[in-house]
Structure 1
Amino acid sequence: MPERPAITSSELGVLWLTYQEKTMILRMLEYFIEKADDEKAKKIMTDLYTEIDIYVGKITNIFKSEGAVIPIGFTSEDVNKDVPKLYDNGFDIMFVRLLKEISMGLHTLNINMTYREDIVMLFKELTAITQAYYNACTQYLIEKGMIARSPYVSMPKSTEFVKNTDYLAGMNPFTKIGNKRTLNTIEVAYVYHGIEVNFIGLQMITGFAQCANNSEVKKFFAEGVELSKSIIKEMSETFIEDGIQVPASSGGNATRSTVAPFSDKLMMYCTSMLCSFSMGGNAVGTAFSLRNDLAAKMTVFTKDIFEYAHKGAKIMIKNGWMEEPPQMEERKAIIKE
């Protein structure tokens, strides 16, 4: 065995995907840093930018050493720092926190698909960095009163076991609404998280809809606004039925600006990434929700988000914005040659 084996197809794939994500985040951070009024927020984002930039360089060096072409990803052409603010103060850290949440999940999955020690270590280091900045963003938002905690609950005094299948009820048309059991704390956690994420996504895509240059892209983002609203409404009603507080944010709204700080290509990719994250979150929420009406709602959300994301993929392909991941050898074509 060579001292350092060549990277595998899965390692190439996850490094390529990470390069796309990190170069997108760098471009967005460049704009948010430029427009930041709060020094503490600016320092969090500036320090994060420095950390990410180092790892984009490390991934680039791995590609070079393996003789692989460097992906295009997102460049200076995809950001314009000299435009008015598209979002109020607070959105930058809210959004960075969401991006770090996505990154935490991706890095964990990526470690499971890597074998070479240096690449495993790269993703372990990225995971530690991501966790640190996720926490920094969370504490900043709590300190500024820009994020609400999930509802408190009375602590359990004894352990209980489910006594019959009525515990799963929620969609039986012959069952009165009043007989539907209250949500348990696991279900509250996933519903609350879904509302919180969709609130941030709603503000993000509202800004994108205001400033997109391509008319088809603008229409696509406007549809995304309505989809986010419908998901927030459905999830909030589930809480309201049980008298549970619905999360709300005190900042981070889109301004009245209609000038794009990012390219349509970048905004479409960012929306696609959030759709993938949302579908994954709904799938996990469905798995851990024991009330069947919740599982049914999350399944519908996943279907709607998938159809929306598929429409976005078609727009990206049509406009030449979807960079193709490295392909496996086309054996049938090689044999024919």
Structure 2
Amino acid sequence: MDHNPKLTSSELGVLWNAYMQNTAVLCFVKHFDKNNEDQSIDALIKTALNNIQFAVEGSKQIFEIEKSPVPFGFNESDVNLEVSRLYSDLFALRYIKYISAVGIAAAAVSLELSARTDVRTYFTKIIESLSSQYNSASDLLLQKGVFIRSPIIPVPEKVEYIQEESFLSGVFGRHRPITAVELSHVSKNLETNSIGRTFILGFSQIAQSIEVKEYFTRGKEIAEKHEDIFREILLKDDLPLPSVWDSTISHTTTPIFSDKLMMFHVATLNATSVSSYGGAIAGSLRKDLGVQYMKLLTEVIEYADDGVKIMIKNQWLEQPPQAPDRVALRRNMTI
């Protein structure tokens, strides 16, 4: 007999998340495809569309096989493809590189949490397709001379062990030079905040709700503040600042994306920042960097929490699958 176990809670959770994330991203990439004028990236955008549609249909099919309700997610009602561009073609290219990297990381975690063969095969194919997509996007950015690189530091002359606890540095006073590992986290978080700031700035321009507009404006200010902090870290070590992301935004104020979709995407950006800051704390031996990341992390969590409240208030937050409430069940039985 073939062994076809039911989906575990982990598998149900990662498939639900994959469906939600990919239906959201599909709306943005469709907008980029509709307005793209750069022929050099047209094939990549078409590839991204195919990869995202595969991810959406793959998770949907597993839900249907299991007779599990398919999440609402996002669809054509959340994006107006008849409105002209909001962001530049170059930003679209950088966004595809960004979502490829985020998608690879998410699919790798999902693969680790999955036991069933069909679920593992699904996430394995996603990792393979997104890896190719990431490399294609990176190659195009390099060809255009706009790939944002981390600062370059001298290659060490020899390998050595840390000799003194002073290497950890204190919270105040003079600090030892930043390590390559710490520098990689600073560069990554600077890039993440740059793309987030550009996205939120555009969102604030087309949002329909005043409350949502104000929320996005606050998010833009937070991203700018965090960018300044990371730049200051580089400047104090006399390191060159990386070039900025293309932040060209059109003058349109016509709604392109639904407030529900934009709020969900900002929630995703917040979750990415929380994960990145957590990894940076673990990878930073300098105490002052750890303290700084903790402050930034707290600010992002508070901002994300306020966003969730807005989504719940407007009934935009779809409920993930959850375990049964045994207490409520017992109470119903006794009535």
Q: TM class, shorter-chain normalised?
A: over 0.9
Conserved? CA contact 1:147–1:249, under 8 Å: no
CA distance in 2, matches of 1:145, 1:261: 30
**Counterpart position of 2:277:** 282
What does residue 165 of structure 2 align with? 165
Please give the alpha-carbon distance, in whole angstroms, between the structure 1 residues aligned to 2:2 and 2:133: 37
What is the alpha-carbon distance in structure 1 between the residues aligned to residue 139 and residue 256 of structure 2?
Answer: 27
The 4+ residue runs of structure 1 with deviation greater than 4 A are: none
Residue 244 of structure 1: SS of its match in structure 2? coil
Do structure 1's residue 260 and structure 2's residue 255 form an aligned pair?
A: yes
Output the CA distance in 1 between the equivalents of 2:107 and 2:272. Answer: 13
Per-residue displacement from partner, 1:215-241 (whole Å, max 9, x unpaired)? 000000000000000000011001001
**Residues 56 and 143 (structure 1), Cα distance of their counterparts in 2 relative to 1, 3 Å cut:** same
1:293 aligns with 2:288: yes
Select 1:207's aligned residue among 202, 206, 211: 202
Deviations 1:142-192, CA, capped at 9 Å, x for gaps? 2112232112222112112111111111423xx3x3xx2111111111101
- Residue in structure 2 matching 1:218, options 190, 213, 216: 213
Matched, 1:195 2:190: yes
Cα separation, 2, equivalents of 1:334 and 1:154: 64
How far off is 1:59 after superposition?
1.4
Q: CA contact under 8 A between 2:32 and 2:89: conserved in structure 1?
A: no
Taking the aligned partners of 1:187 and 1:316, their CA distance within structure 2 comes to 35
Q: Following TM superposition, by how much is the alpha carbon of 1:2 offset from its aligned partner in structure 2, in angstroms?
A: 5.1
Deviation at 1:250?
6.0
In structure 2, the gaps of 5 or more residues are none
Are the equivalent residues in 1 in contact too, given 2:51–2:130 (CA < 8 A)? no
For 1:220, give the aligned amino acid: Y
Q: Secondary structure at the match of 2:187?
A: helix
Question: What does residue 154 of structure 2 align with?
Answer: 154
The answer to whether 1:44 aligns with 2:51 is no
Q: Distance in 2 between matches of 1:292 and 1:7?
A: 43
Q: 1:182 aligns with which of 168, 177, 185?
A: 177
1:22 aligns with 2:17: no
CA contact (8 A) 1:14 1:110 kept: yes
Structure 1 portions without partners, runs of 5+: none
- Correspondence for 2:317 among 306, 316, 322: 322
CA offsets, 1:254-303, max 9 Å, x none?
Answer: 22222222111111000000110111011111111111111111111110
Which deviates further from its counterpart, 247-256 or 71-80? Answer: 247-256
Separation in structure 2 between the aligned mates of residue 94 and residue 267 of structure 1, nearest angstrom: 18
User: What code does the residue aligned with 2:183 have?
Assistant: V
Q: What is the aligned partner in structure 2 of residue 237 from structure 1?
A: 232
TM-score in terms of structure 1 length: 0.95
| Structure 2 Cα separation of the partners of residues 113 and 302 of structure 1 | 26
Q: Please show how residues 301-312 of structure 1 align to structure 2 within 5 Å.
A: 301-312=296-307
8 Å Cα contact 2:190/2:227 also seen in 1 = yes
Alignment length (residue pairs): 332
Any residues of structure 2 matched to 1:61-72 within 5 Å, and which? 61-72=61-72
| Whole-angstrom distance in 1 between the partners of 2:167 and 2:54 | 51
Q: CA deviation at 1:95?
A: 1.3
Q: Which moved more, 1:314-323 or 1:100-109?
A: 100-109
- SS of 1:160's equivalent? coil
RMSD: 1.3
- Whether the aligned pair in 2 keeps the contact of 1:169 and 1:291 (CA below 8 Å) is yes
Does the alignment pair 1:94 with 2:94?
Answer: yes
8 Å Cα contact 2:195/2:245 also seen in 1: no
Aligned to 2:327: 332
| d(CA) in 2 for partners of 1:261, 1:41 | 22
> How far, CA to CA, are the matches of 2:98 and 2:47 in structure 1?
17
Q: Distance in 2 between matches of 1:233 and 1:286?
A: 18
Q: CA deviation at 1:139?
A: 1.6
1:82 corresponding residue in structure 2:
82
Cα gap change, 1:250/1:48 in structure 2, threshold over 3 Å: closer, same or farther? closer
Distance in 2, Cα, partners of 1:154 & 1:105 = 29
| Contact 1:94–1:252 (Cα < 8 Å) also in 2 | no
The answer to whether the Cα contact below 8 Å between 2:103 and 2:130 also exists between their aligned partners in 1 is yes
Alpha-carbon contact 2:48-2:96 (below 8 Å) kept = no
* 8 Å contact kept, 1:192–1:246: no
